[in-house]
Chain A
């Protein structure tokens, strides 16, 4: 309950921050503008023409659900990666602000355990990012459904995937902030893990760039410990294309990603417990 209370306070603070409202307003305006300007001409179930603000976007004439697959795939990648980058940028200063002198001392003097403060902050930020990604993903999915009649869960799956992928990223950001109280460093740690996670998700292909031997082994060894973030993006893309995703590997991927996040958080708890304020 303490953890949830702290998470709730973080969300209340986020809601009060004007720029969060500005982002939501901006995203809504953008969706509305695209909704107004984008027109699909569907003839007998085939996508005949695509127009954006009156300009014809040269498109092939084929079944609308098939024709839109690349669009849904692109949208799911967009929701996924933009959701992650938004999360890093938007939440980089939450932990440093919480740890500010004058704010952290009264909080730790309350009847809360330090790990609860960390867990509550983590959960609150996760909820914020999930809500933002779902807002964007649902908006896009709804927009395309209204325009074409084709329902596609890809953007929503992408939003959920982004929330899972953000868990280890924010755990790293939080732990970094406990080391050095800096929003820039925290954000940098998040972006670094994002890039590392994309590389890890494509490690088999990237390993080919290394000479066979020690360097390739080291690369494969290091990346074997990292979360495969781009693999989560591909799950969303598969959902957009209505391709089946094997349940076992998906569960292992999600569980492994969350286990990594918990590992980093545990490291953060250890750091937090040892630190003087």
Chain B
């Protein structure tokens, strides 16, 4: 079953007095299966946040349709199974952290709200600050509070926009572990993040949105395939100069080199290296990192 489905989703924001209209989404087709960890990446202004809001019913599409957990995004019963963390997060500054969570728990009509609140406060390291006014919390702690609100009630679908924004590296690790636990219990994750390294670590499927369209989409592994970069290791006696002449660039460790090129060029280079007396010990094709994937996808998109 699909957790999210978009068909021909389009959104145009009309400007003042009908002028300066901006087309944020231009017909997006996307499926996210239940239990998947999906990451949406793209350059600034690509329409990522608009897409997220459209699937949650916060923004009305100009064309196309979207379903959320098999139903209308406007249906409260669907949204009851969703946990959302927006990119820009604000709370009533006069309330304390526990009151904020209680309020969300009430609105989600949780069965045992106090227990749920206590659990999430603990999990996100907010137990000691539960009675403090939100206005006195640091950005990182407010971000944790936002996460706690999204995770309350163990929703079936987590839609997180920049979940590690403002968090220190150790906290990011904790959040990654938390998300891994949520995935393990069967939740679907839809992640929107500028931190490609975080997205790579958490998500198994990636969608690239550029200029309001999905330009590439698929499993992370398949997106990273097709790299033309090779890691080569020669024995310790190989000389760098003849190897450089053969087309190999020196790597970080002794004896390790890299080669950029397709297999025919690689073989020709290996022949030149062996002719120079080098002994090939190891040959590995390197996977593309997401930044490269993104760059290639945007460069290739019309």
State the A residues within 8 Å of B (CB): 2, 5-6, 8-9, 12-13, 16-18, 97, 100-103, 105-113, 274, 276-277
Contact = CB atoms under 8 A, between A and B. Distances in A.
Contact of A106 (B57, B84, B95): B84
Given A16-B133, A110-B107, A111-B109, A105 B58 contact: yes
Interface stretch (B30-38, B72-80, B190-198, B250-258): B72-80
B149 interface: yes
Contacts of B99: 12, 16
Instruction: Report which residue of B58, B60, B82 has the largest number of chain A beta carbons within 10 angstroms of its beta carbon.
Output: B58
Contacts of B107: 2, 5-6, 107, 110-112
Given A16-B95, A111-B79, A112-B76, A102 B108 contact: no
A277 B53 contact: yes
B92 A97 contact: yes
B3 interface: no
19 contacts: A5-B107, A8-B106, A9-B103, A12-B95, A12-B99, A13-B95, A16-B92, A17-B94, A102-B88, A105-B58, A105-B84, A106-B84, A106-B150, A108-B56, A109-B84, A110-B104, A111-B76, A111-B108, A277-B53
A276 B58 contact: yes
Contacts of A274: 60
Interface string B6-23: 000000010000000000
A201 to B, nearest CB: 36
Contacts of A8: 106
Contacts of A109: 56-58, 79, 82, 84, 86, 159
Given A12-B99, A110-B79, A276-B60, A105 B53 contact: yes
Contacts, number: 81
B88 A101 contact: yes
A89 to B, nearest CB: 17
Contacts of A101: 88, 90
B89 interface: yes
Contacts of A276: 13, 53, 58-60
Contact of B92 (A2, A13, A111, A113): A13
Contacts of B86: 102, 105-106, 109
B28 interface: no
Interface of B: 13, 53, 56-60, 76-77, 79-80, 82, 84-86, 88-92, 94-96, 99, 103-104, 106-109, 133, 146, 149-150, 159
A106 B92 contact: no
Contacts of B91: 103
Contacts of B89: 102, 106
Nearest to A97: B92
A276 B77 CA distance: 21
B12 to A, nearest CB: 11
B58 A108 contact: yes
B182 to A, nearest CB: 17
Instruction: Report which residue of A6, A103, A106, A274 has the largest number of chain B beta carbons within 10 angstroms of its beta carbon.
Output: A106
A49 B85 CA distance: 67
A63 to B, nearest CB: 49
B80 A106 contact: no
A111 B60 contact: no
A112 B106 CA distance: 11
Nearest to B73: A109
B259 to A, nearest CB: 49
Instruction: Report which residue of A97, A110, A276 has the largest number of chain B beta carbons within 10 angstroms of its beta carbon.
Output: A110
A173 to B, nearest CB: 18
A127 to B, nearest CB: 16
A145 to B, nearest CB: 36
B66 to A, nearest CB: 14
Contacts of A112: 76, 107
Given A5-B106, A16-B133, A102-B88, A113 B58 contact: no
Nearest to A100: B90
**Chain A to chain B: the 4 pairs with minimum beta-carbon distance, closest first:** A102-B90, A16-B94, A111-B80, A111-B76
Given A12-B99, A109-B79, 15 more contacts: A5-B103, A6-B107, A9-B103, A16-B92, A16-B95, A16-B96, A97-B92, A105-B56, A105-B86, A110-B79, A110-B104, A110-B107, A111-B76, A111-B77, A277-B58
A108 B106 CA distance: 14
A91 to B, nearest CB: 14
B77 to A, nearest CB: 7
A218 B59 CA distance: 41
Contacts of B80: 110-111
Contact of A103 (B58, B82, B84, B90): B90
A67 B259 CA distance: 104
